[in-house]
Amino acid sequence: MMCFGNMAEAYRVFVVLDRNYGERVAVLAQTGPVWIVDTPLNRAAAQKLWADDPNHDHLDGVTTFKFAEDSSPEDILINELDTVDVHHGIYSANPPYTVIEAIGVSISEKLRSKLSQFGFNQFEATPQGFHAVRPLPSDWSPDRW
C-alpha cells in the first residue's frame, strides 16, 4: 500500500463512473467537486443537490457528463480526463487538483498510462475504485492568480 501523505488537504476531484450511484453523490459533494456519469438516477440526485444549493459551481459542486452507452467505465474515464483537467487544472483552480478519486472503475495499465500523461504517478486501489495522485505541476505558481 502506498502512502499518500495528507490527502485530506489535497485538492481532490471525484469522478464517478457508477451508473447507479444516485443519492450517494451527496456525501461526496460535501468533500469536493464531483463529476458523475449522466444517467437518469445520477442526474436526479445531481438535480436535487443543484436545487438545494444553487451557489455551487464546477469547482465545488456536482457536474454530470454524457458518455457513450456502450463504453466501459475505463474508456469513459479516459475520455473525460481532458475536460476534468481543463476545469480543475492550472488554468482554472488555485491550487490545481492533485488527486483523482475514481469510483466505479478499477485501476488498469491503460488508465495508469493515460493518467501519467497528466502527471499522476501514485495509484492505490480502493474498495470503490482507485485514487491517483500527482505533485503540483511544475509550471504552476500561486502568483499566476
As a whole number, the mean pLDDT across the chain is 89
58-83: pLDDT as tens digits: 677 899 999 999 999 999 999 999 99
- At 4-13, the pLDDT tens digits run 444 446 899 9
- Tell me the residue ranges of DSSP E strands in 39-83: 62-65
What's residue 143's pLDDT? 67
Cell numbers describing residue 21: 450511484
Q: How confident is the model at residue 139 (pLDDT cuts 50, 70, 90)?
A: low
pLDDT score for 1: 33
Locate 142 and state its grid cell.
Answer: 500561486
Cα 22 from chain centroid (whole Å): 16
Q: What percent of the chain has pLDDT over 70?
A: 86
Give me the pLDDT at residue 104, please.
Answer: 98
Peptide bond into 142 cis (omega under 30): no
pTM over 0.85: yes
Q: What is the CATH number of domain 10-144?
A: 3.40.50
Q: Do 97 and 145 meet the contact criterion of CB atoms below 8 Å apart?
A: no
In this predicted structure, what is the pLDDT of residue 8?
43
In this model, does residue 103 exceed pLDDT 50?
A: yes
Looking at residue 92, what is its pLDDT?
86
